[in-house]
A = this chain, B = another copy of it.
Amino acid sequence: MNANTAHPLVLFMPSGKRGRFPVGTPVLDAARQLGVYVESVCGGRATCGRCQVSVQEGNFAKHGITSSDDHLSPVGPKEERYDRVRGLPEGRRLSCSAQILGDLVIDVPQDTVINAQVVRKAADERVFDRNAAVRMCYVEVEEPDMEKPLGDLDRLKAALAADWHFDEIDVDFHLIPKVQQILRKGEWKVTAAIHRDRDDDRPRLIALYPGLKNEAYGIACDIGSTTIAMHLSSLLSGRTVASAGTSNPQIRFGEDLMSRVSYVMMNPDGREAMTAAVREALNGLIDRVCEQGGVSRTDILDSVFVGNPIMHHLFLGIDPTELGGAPFALAVSGAVDVKSADIGLPMNEGTRAYVLPCIAGHVGADAAAATLSEGPHRQDEMMLMVDIGTNAEIVLGNSARVVAASSPTGPAFEGAEISSGQRAAPGAIERVRIDPETLEPRFRVIGVEPWSDETGFAEGAAATGVTGICGSGIIEVVAEMYLAGIISEDGVVDGSLAARSPRILPNGRTFSYLVHDGEQRITVTQNDIRAIQLAKAALYAGVKLLMDKQGIGNVDRIGLAGAFGTFIDPKYAMVLGLIPDCDLARVKSVGNAAGTGARMCLLNRGYRREIEDTVRKIEKIETALEPKFQEHFVAAMALPNKVDAFPQLSTVVTLPERKVIADASGEGGRRRRRSRD
């Protein structure tokens, strides 16, 4: 027998990790030695079924491995018993029992892939390994023995050391009075939930269950100023079993962030009230995801939270007043690691909570989570990420360097400070097209499927009403007004058009555009356009400042994060000059990137270290301290931005569905030339 026969080659997919192991090595042991993540709760007793793998068939040659059926030990009595009792899917084996007999290609099922974005990363050669901060570890504990008077807890520790190599274990105090009863209830067989966040943490016993406890859950939560979203995931399979969202009840204290800070400053109990409100909402969401997922609240053992700096502070019970004025000092910027009960979220007594780091005073843990999810720091391409709220959080970078800033866009993009503005809710206009000939609009309303000129609209709108314009709607209507020639590049509504359209209405010394004349009269006023101009100029100036810092004239890809990013049409964002030049195909809504980042941290504690390191390295640019910011701001007031930043605009305006485009293009071209004079 030569060495290669005695030590067959085993390749694990999709990680591609490979190594040689002695004949008879259990596949699970081989995976562990190579650092391939395969879950196991029962510690190799073939009872939990978590360590399932399959043998890749047919294409062994591709990997340079020749194999035959007998390269894996046949199904033995333990696996047979498991299959009989709990059922083993076709082709699956328990890696704790299946032994290596010859060369093998092993597929580790990636139940873990949590959404399309992560799949995309996997395609970018990134495999999403799980490594939750909480592990479930089944052990059989020695019974008490008068000759060896170790305590129950101490014998449990000894079993965890022997079977799981946890040599020194800290214990949550709440378990100490319960250990003896749990051990006896489980007849000395128990499952320990062990928390270890960092590699150099001493493992910590946070929960203990009689018998084999083959499941544990975690929640990941994005606390937005408007909406709070929560996902409940299995820490063992990685699957998301329930999701829920709710509006942030702090809205009653102030619609936008700064009004909430003001509320704290004006009311002695304001901070406490807002902290209580958000925690109450979170507790409600926990109950909802638990009900949805059929999960007991006490089975949630870990949790991850993100939010912008003010949400972050209020959630943690920290006064956000300092964030309301220069130098915008965060009370804490680093990651926060606590017991969930300490922050008013009782689940299991041992449940932990991890809050991602904030990047800067106005670039929060949500931006950090979105950065983690989208990974500009992991790619060579230069990526711009924008999350628009009262402040735009902007991150620009690649694997060499990442810079970040926030821009004071104000709340216009959220529909606030707009005469007919409203939050994105049923009844709000979210899509608008304007016929450049007739200047007549057609629009779509949230909660109603047909457009306003399609059959069925009236019936649908009867339920919702047409109540205002939301953030994405205001972007579109202003862009369409510009494309239709209703407003000039300076943003002035052309009053002379009142002669040919009843939609152009005098409004004091300026003119407005009538979008809808129903129960509510919905117009876009000159002031509205000014507000959008200011907001977009602030955003663009922030982006441009970061591009200056990176010494670049354009970016390779753009991610638009958050609710606004989900609903905005990238074309219009580019027409209005919210974002810099980029191949339109590479401008994407990254949706709940912050929520995805939170889930990544929930399922793999390695991501916590990754984002902590990344945040430490990100260069934070304070726009208020940069003279160039003001310059960029002034330059960005015009509609659209100067042509050098937008050579692609022609590709936008020639999209086939847009009839008006040829004209507008010529128009825009002239204007652009003019504005360069």
A contact residues vs B (CB 8 Å cutoff) = 144-154, 157, 170, 173-174, 176-177, 179-181, 200-202, 316-319, 322, 326-334, 336-339, 342-343, 358-361, 620, 622, 624-625
Contacts and interface: CB of A to CB of B under 8 A. Distances in A.
Contacts of A148: 620
A625 B329 contact: no
Contact of A149 (B150, B333, B337, B338): B333
Contact of A177 (B328, B330, B331): B331
A640 B512 CA distance: 114
Q: Please provide the 10 A-B residue pairs with the shortest distance between their CB atoms, ordered closest to farther.
A: A151-B333, A144-B329, A149-B360, A151-B330, A153-B332, A173-B338, A151-B332, A180-B331, A146-B622, A146-B327
Contacts of A202: 200-201
A177 B343 contact: no
Contacts of A176: 316-318, 331-332, 336, 338
Nearest to A623: B146
B332 A179 contact: yes
Contacts of A322: 144, 180
B149 A331 contact: no
A359 B148 CA distance: 10
A210 to B, nearest CB: 15
Contacts of A358: 151
Contacts of A177: 316-319, 331
B338 A179 contact: no
Most buried by B among A173, A358, A361: A173
Given A144-B322, A153-B333, A154-B330, 16 more contacts: A144-B327, A146-B328, A146-B361, A149-B327, A149-B333, A149-B360, A149-B361, A151-B329, A151-B333, A152-B331, A173-B342, A176-B317, A176-B318, A176-B336, A180-B331, A200-B202
Contacts of A360: 149
Given A177-B317, A318-B180, A620 B149 contact: yes
A347 to B, nearest CB: 16
A58 to B, nearest CB: 49
Contacts of A332: 151-154, 176, 179
A330 B332 CA distance: 42
Contacts of A339: 173
A332 B176 CA distance: 7
B180 A622 contact: no
A326 B330 CA distance: 58
Contact of A146 (B151, B153, B326, B359): B326
Contacts of A200: 202
Contacts of A153: 331-334
A144 B146 CA distance: 60
Given A336-B176, A343-B173, A146 B331 contact: no
7 contacts: A146-B328, A149-B327, A152-B329, A153-B334, A176-B316, A177-B331, A180-B331
A360 B327 CA distance: 59
Nearest to A334: B154
Nearest to A342: B173
Contacts of A201: 202
A338 B359 CA distance: 33
A343 B622 CA distance: 47
A279 B17 CA distance: 56
A146 B318 contact: no
Nearest to A148: B620
A182 to B, nearest CB: 11
A154 B333 contact: yes
Contacts of A174: 342
Contacts of A328: 144, 146, 149
A337 B169 CA distance: 12
A333 B150 contact: yes
